[in-house]
Amino acid sequence: MKEKIMTLIQRERNLYILISVTILTAILFAFIFGNSMYSARNLQSMAYQIPEFGFIALAMMLSFMIGGIDLSVVANANTAGIFAALILTGVWLPGLNESNAIIAAVLVAMGASILFGFFNGWMVAKLSAPPLIATLGTMILYSGIGMALTGGKGVTGLPSSFTSFGTAELWGVPLIFVIFVLVAVILSVILNRMTFGRKIYLYGGNRIAARFSAINNERMAIAIFVVIGILAGIAGLIIISRVNSAKVGYGDAYLLQSLLVCVIGGIHPDGGRGRAAGVVCAVILMQMLSSAFTILQFSPYARKLIWGFMLIFVMGLNYLSERRAQKIRVDLLRKRTPQAD
């Protein structure tokens, strides 16, 4: 029984470390800020801010799991949002009533984000392009499309029936937060319980072994980037519904922050390891820190300093935990191996 518990702790040690850090941070902030941090108004504000960044982080997590980085995920979300805004404001498909315009905008935005994700996957799968290089190029391409369509200006005047989606509540909880939690749970179940999720781990951990296990690596790469595109499209729709406009450059800060969240969340950059729960926990931790920075009126430079400190701190804990886990594995192996006379 003890060995089973130790094995479970070793396998999920990064997640347990992150949960512990998040809980300790929450307790510390309760003593420091009191109601300023955990008032109903501030908690609701954090719940509104988490989803748009959370979907970007989940998309980045999937790219990490296959040993790559999708630099185009924010550009994908922005451009899909611009497509939706152009339909909602009547620049595209004029003459539609409000309800039909919303339906068309959502369908076009999601279709575009899926197509962008498919194109990323196609380049990685068919052209054998490294994900970092491929998505660097498409990041510029997708941002360029948005820039060409808008001239760098914002698309404003979205109908209130659409923007109300970004402020809607379900039993006092923001609807977009409920959607984020549901998607995160579904994604976690897929990764941990379904065949497709196991294939993602195998493909990300060892592509040669995946091929010999009858996994079509090309289809797998394309499928993963399509899912990334879906998550980016949802993020794009949430962003424009919250800010009531669409513009190239919205959410640019989310790119580096999503990389930071994935590292803190225990997603291995070489692929094949990590949990969606870790990313969700890291997103919550980042949001708590961001709210604390707002209360303390920290400058952007001070925020970067603390982001860096948190990254190094968690990486240090992970390193010490890895060393400890290796020692435990060696000790267990020695106990199980019969000693020679």
- Domain boundaries in the chain? 2-331
The answer to whether 105 and 87 have CB atoms below 8 angstroms apart is yes
pLDDT for 22 beyond 90: no
Q: What's the pLDDT tens digit per position in 84-132?
A: 999 999 999 998 899 999 999 999 999 999 999 999 999 999 998 899 9
Which class is domain 2-331?
A: mainly alpha
Q: Quick one: average pLDDT of 62-68?
A: 90
Which pLDDT score is estimated for 8?
A: 46
pLDDT greater at residue 90 or residue 316? 90
**What tokens appear for 283 in the block?**
């997103």
**What tokens appear for 238 in the block?**
């949430």
C-alpha distances in angstroms, 304 versus 256, 275, 289, 332? 11, 25, 11, 42
**What tokens appear for 294 in the block?**
């707002």
Q: Which residues pair with 170 in a beta bridge?
A: 173
Q: Which amino acid is at 287?
A: Q
Residue 63 exposure: Cα atoms within 13 Å on the Cβ side: 32
pTM exceeds 0.75 for this model: yes
Of the pLDDT bands very low, low, confident and very high (cuts 50, 70, 90), residue 326 is confident
Neighbours of 90 (CB within 10 A): 13
Q: Quick one: average pLDDT of 7-24?
A: 72
Q: Quick one: average pLDDT of 249-253?
A: 82
| 3-state SS assignment for residue 173 | strand
pLDDT for 74 beyond 80: yes
Q: What's the pLDDT tens digit per position in 189-210?
A: 999 889 888 899 999 888 888 8
Please state, in angstroms and rounded to a whole number, the distance separating the CA atoms of residues 173 and 70: 31
DSSP symbol at 245: E
Please state, in angstroms and rounded to a whole number, the distance separating the CA atoms of residues 279 and 15: 9
pLDDT for 338 beyond 80: no
Of the pLDDT bands very low, low, confident and very high (cuts 50, 70, 90), residue 1 is low
Which pLDDT score is estimated for 150?
A: 92
Position of tokens 């999937």?
Answer: 62
266: left (phi over 0), alpha (psi -120 to 50) or beta: left
pLDDT for 341 beyond 80: no
Which pLDDT score is estimated for 340?
A: 47
Q: What b/e string do you get for 254-282 counting C-beta neighbours within 10 Å, with b at 16 or more? A: bbebbbbbbbbbbbbeebbbbbbbbbbbb
Which pLDDT score is estimated for 5?
A: 47
Of the pLDDT bands very low, low, confident and very high (cuts 50, 70, 90), residue 187 is very high
Q: Quick one: average pLDDT of 55-82?
A: 93
Which pLDDT score is estimated for 59?
A: 95
Q: Quick one: average pLDDT of 22-39?
A: 86
Length of the chain: 341
Please state, in angstroms and rounded to a whole number, the distance separating the CA atoms of residues 239 and 65: 25
